[in-house]
């Protein structure tokens, strides 16, 4: 099966929105510092661009999760494949995700950081697909709300491909 990628959000649109999110977060955390938790691999591009636009002190660390299942559907079961190097106790955590789909990943992670006694836990997702939600999660910062389509680029993959595209595209399976 081959596939084609059609542009949904351009690099310019993404950059502009990330700049707005950075400004909003900087305002909300004035006088505080932030611990950004980037969820690998998908959120890496977004998290770096976002971090560059935050003006309060930032610590960044990385975590990798997998939601078991194959193809383009999440199974609901989340596993930590790589944990943080640093502790989050007493820190203002913002979990940075590429996309919120079923909501299972963010729901699971927000509970983990509360158990680890973070001072506060907020969530930031570059994209939101609300039509596919299975668990109700409150995402504090959202880049773009998109319709139910499988998207790639800006960190997001299909079968480990297309992460390097500078835009968000929809995969059309031919
Ligand atoms: P959730 O746990 O179902 O919310 O899924 C979150 C994870 O599924 C994301 O971090 C992505 O890795 C992956 N995912 C969900 N939708 C897409 C998509 O449209 N394209 C690429 N990956 C996706
Ligand atoms: Mg993925």
Per-residue pLDDT of the chain (174 residues; tens, 9 = 90+): 788 999 999 999 999 999 999 999 999 999 999 999 999 999 999 999 999 999 999 999 999 998 755 555 556 678 899 999 999 999 999 999 999 999 999 999 999 999 999 999 999 999 999 998 999 999 999 999 999 999 999 999 999 999 999 999 999 988
C-alpha 148/C-alpha 101 separation (Å) is: 9
148 has catalytic annotation: no
Mutating to test ligand 1, I would choose from 39, 63, 99 the residue with most ligand atoms within 8 A of its C-beta, which is 99
Q: What is the pTM of this model?
A: 0.93
Domain-located, residue 70: yes
Residue nearest atom 12 in ligand 1 by C-alpha distance: 42
Residue nearest atom 16 in ligand 1 by C-alpha distance: 101
What single string gives the DSSP state of each residue in 51-67? HHT--S-EEEEEEEEEE
**Quick one: how far is CA 67 from the chain centroid?**
14
Residue 149: name the closest of 21, 4, 20 by CA: 4
Closest ligand to Cα 73:
1
Range of the structural domain that residue 102 is part of: 11-148
Domain-located, residue 73: yes
The CATH number of the domain holding residue 50 is 3.40.50.2020
Domain-located, residue 99: yes
- pLDDT for the residue 69: 53
Domain-located, residue 168: no
Number of structural domains (the chain) is 1
Domain-located, residue 126: yes
- pLDDT for the residue 68: 59
Closest ligand to Cα 72:
1
Atom of ligand 1 lying closest to residue 97 CA: 10
Domain-located, residue 127: yes
- pLDDT for the residue 90: 98
Domain-located, residue 1: no
Ligand 1 centroid – CA 82 distance (Å): 17
Domain-located, residue 76: yes
Using DSSP's 3-state secondary structure scheme, residue 36 falls into strand
Ligand 1 centroid – CA 22 distance (Å): 22
Point out the catalytic residue in the list 85, 101, 140, 159: 101
């Amino acid at each position: 099966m081959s596939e084609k990628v059609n542009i949904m959000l351009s690099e310019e649109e993404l950059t502009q929105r990330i700049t707005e999110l950075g400004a909003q977060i900087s305002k909300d955390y004035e006088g505080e510092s932030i611990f950004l938790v980037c969820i690998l691999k998908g959120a890496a591009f977004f998290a770096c661009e976002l971090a560059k636009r935050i003006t309060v002190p930032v610590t960044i660390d990385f975590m990798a999760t997998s939601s078991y299942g194959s193809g383009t559907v999440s199974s609901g079961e989340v596993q930590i494949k790589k944990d943080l190097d640093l502790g989050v106790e007493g820190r203002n955590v913002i979990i940075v995700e590429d996309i919120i789909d079923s909501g299972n990943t963010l729901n699971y992670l927000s509970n983990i950081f509360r158990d680890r006694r973070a001072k506060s836990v907020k969530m930031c997702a570059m994209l939101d697909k609300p039509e596919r939600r299975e668990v109700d999660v409150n995402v504090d910062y959202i880049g773009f709300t998109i319709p139910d389509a499988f998207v790639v680029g800006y960190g997001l993959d299909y079968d480990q491909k297309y992460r390097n595209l500078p835009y968000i595209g929809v995969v059309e399976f031919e």
